[in-house]
Amino acid sequence: MAGFKSCKCIEHEVVLDFMNVVRHCSNHNLEFGGRPVIYDYFDGKNFTKEEFFNKKRVHRQMFREGKCPSTCQNCFHLREMEWDDDDYIDFLLLTPWAECNSKCIYCPVCTDEYVKQNTKKYDVYSAVKYMMENDFFIPETVFDFAGGEPTLYEKFDDILELIFEKGYKNVVIHTNGINYSDTVAKLIKNGQCKVLISVDSANRELYKKIKRVDKFDDVRETMRRYSAAQTAIRPNAMKSKYILVPGINDTEEFILEWLDMCQELGIISVILNLDFNWIVKNTDLAYKQKDMPRSPENTTRHLYDLIDFTKTEAEKRGIITSLYGEIFTIKTLVEGEVTENIIDP
């Protein structure tokens, strides 16, 4: 097949999203909206494989005809290449639950009462089970749990047991770490899972300021136990995540305190990200932004330098740093065009 412009999300990714929506992707295109829809209402019942992939093919076919959906205009994920024509899912993002036991100051879901009130619970477990039984997935499929807080879903462990039994090796769990799960630990030991815990601090008072709950000790203990479950199969399965919130936790002192805690807990892989709300409020466009920010230039430079500081200090401790999403907006603002993708060893 001749090459044409499309993206990996349109082709083979699926997002079970808030408010019972199913999407091709979760990437916000601030200029045109992004996040094109497959189902505008999904209850996890009465769907077939043929129906599902026919709906997904609506957008896929547009790209094959040289058309681009309005929501995808100028999205930096678009690539011109040869895409296969098969029906399968190689990345499933599960984020249909809005409930959370934390109140992070940077989380839009935490403060969006409309989303919480209009997200109706459905049997996600049965939907995923049907997909597994009907060959929606390939052996390499990534199952990515986000939220809300995924551990609050009553069948969270049941879905993980399905994944464990089927032998899928690429499970990613984004969690606040307040709740510990023996099933998660089992998947870590078996090399099937990595866990990303957003702790954003290394002391109780800073944690409470950002998370607005008093659970730092619980989260630290969860990180310790998951770290202890790591084996040589995947020694970096437990990842500590630090979301920079300008004016609150963006100091070298706090970064060093966090890296020292990670080293003490046996964590050798960390993630650095930036408060999405700050990006929206202080830059003209996020992601592939080329204009100067509306925020003072010295703040952008400070964050840029802090990124390099974190990577350098982590390396001194034998810790690998991965850079996520909004971090690349800062790098683009300072460096210009940035083609570097998410680094996640």
Residue range 62-76, pLDDT digits in tens:
999 999 888 888 787
pLDDT at residue number 329: 74
Which residues have a Cβ under 8 Å from the Cβ of 223 and sit 6 or more positions away? 177, 197, 199, 238, 240, 265, 267
Per-residue tokens: 336? 């210009």
- Does position 59 have pLDDT exceeding 90, yes or no? yes
Structure-token match 């809300």, residue found: 148
Element (H, E) at 94: strand 89-94
Task: Supply the pLDDT for residue 98.
Answer: 83
Q: Give the residue carrying structure tokens 């477990």.
A: 125
Pairing between strand 320-323 and 269-274?
parallel
Task: Report the alpha-carbon distance of residue 102 to residue 215 in Å, rounded.
Answer: 9
Tell me the H-state helices in 98-155: 108-111, 113-118, 124-133
Q: Which residue has the tokens 């043929």?
A: 50
- pLDDT bracket for residue 165 (50, 70, 90): very high
Instruction: Specify the pLDDT at position 183.
Output: 96
Res 33 pLDDT > 80: no
Give the mean pLDDT of 121-149: 94
216-228 vs 182-189: helix crossing angle, rounded to 10: 30
Mean per-residue pLDDT, 93-112: 86
Report percent pLDDT > 90 for the chain: 69
In this prediction, residues 5-15 reach a mean pLDDT of 95
- Is a pLDDT exceeding 90 seen at residue 191? yes
22-23 and 37-39 as β-strands: parallel, antiparallel, unpaired? Answer: antiparallel
- The domain locations on the chain are 1-87, 88-335
Residue 28 pLDDT level (bands cut at 50, 70, 90): low
Judged against a pLDDT cut of 90, whether residue 139 lies above it is answered with yes
Tokens of 226: 């998951």
Q: What span, in angstroms and rounded, lies between the C-alpha atoms of 332 and 309? A: 17
pLDDT given for residue 167 in this prediction? 93
- Quick: pLDDT tens for 257-305: 999 999 999 999 999 999 988 877 776 544 444 444 444 556 788 898 9
Which has the closest alpha carbon to 327: 233, 238, 235, 250? 250
Q: What is the mean pLDDT of the chain?
A: 88
Report the pLDDT value the prediction gives residue 119, as an integer from 0 to 100.
78
The H or E element that residue 254 is part of is helix 252-265
The CATH class of 88-335 is alpha beta
pLDDT tops 90 at residue 333:
no
Res 127: pLDDT: 95
Residues 6+ apart with CB under 8 A from 54: none
The band of 196, judged by pLDDT with boundaries at 50, 70 and 90, is very high
209 versus 19: which is more confidently predicted?
209
DSSP string for 30-60: TTTEE--EEESS--SSS--HHHHHHHHHHHH
> What mean pLDDT is predicted for residues 189-209?
97
Is the distance from CB of 27 to CB of 9 less than 8 angstroms? yes
| Amino acid 340: pLDDT | 44
Q: What is the mean pLDDT of residues 159-170?
A: 95
